[in-house]
């Protein structure tokens, strides 16, 4: 397993990779350890830098899919939300063929997403259009959404 700390406009991030797959991105990371060469983490860092600079809208990275079948369905649907757009938890449930009452389960799967930003869980909002919880905190969510669509929030 490889890890790397990077600085970003939303604070320190720790990138995790194993077996040639991006496995996690952690918020609130502090710099520690020695920077080791890892071609995948080099690419993740490059693509994140492009995203934060407003030069990238989609990520093209090999991702681990460690989660339940339902979580994987939700995470795949999150990747279909276009840059600069949002969807509600109920809309995600409906897109997956479930009743909107499954929105709480969608919210739980969204919150369990180990690869935020790349798998854009920040693009999911409340049914009334408000920002709801985010593993990295609502301020990070607001910053990411504002980066994608200035003036939205």
Which one from 78, 87, 93, 121 is the annotated catalytic residue? 121
Instruction: Based on the residue annotation, tell me whether 101 is a catalytic residue of this protein.
Output: no
Question: Rounded to whole angstroms, how far apart are CA atoms 91 and 102?
Answer: 10
Question: Could you tell me if 40 and 82 are in contact, meaning their C-beta atoms sit under 8 angstroms apart?
Answer: no
Question: Could you tell me if 56 and 49 are in contact, meaning their C-beta atoms sit under 8 angstroms apart?
Answer: no
For residue 141, the tally of other CB atoms under 10 A from its CB is 23
Closest CA to 124 of 53, 58, 55, 74: 74
**What values do phi and psi take at 23, rounded to 5?**
-105, -25
Residues carrying an active site annotation: 121
């Amino acid at each position: 397993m490889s890890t790397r700390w990077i600085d970003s406009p939303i604070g320190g991030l720790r990138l995790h990779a194993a077996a040639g797959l991006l496995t996690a991105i952690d918020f609130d990371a502090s710099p520690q350890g020695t920077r080791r060469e890892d071609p995948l983490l080099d690419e993740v860092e490059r693509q994140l830098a492009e995203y934060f600079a407003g030069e990238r809208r989609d990520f093209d990275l090999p991702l681990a899919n460690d989660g339940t079948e339902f979580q994987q369905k939700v995470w795949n649907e999150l990747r279909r939300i276009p840059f600069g757009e949002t969807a509600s938890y109920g809309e995600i449930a409906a897109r997956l063929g479930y009743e909107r009452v499954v929105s709480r389960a969608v919210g739980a799967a969204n919150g369990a997403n180990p690869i935020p930003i790349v798998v854009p869980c920040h693009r999911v909002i409340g049914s009334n259009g408000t920002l709801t919880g985010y593993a990295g905190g609502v301020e990070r969510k607001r910053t990411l959404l504002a980066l994608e669509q200035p003036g939205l929030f």
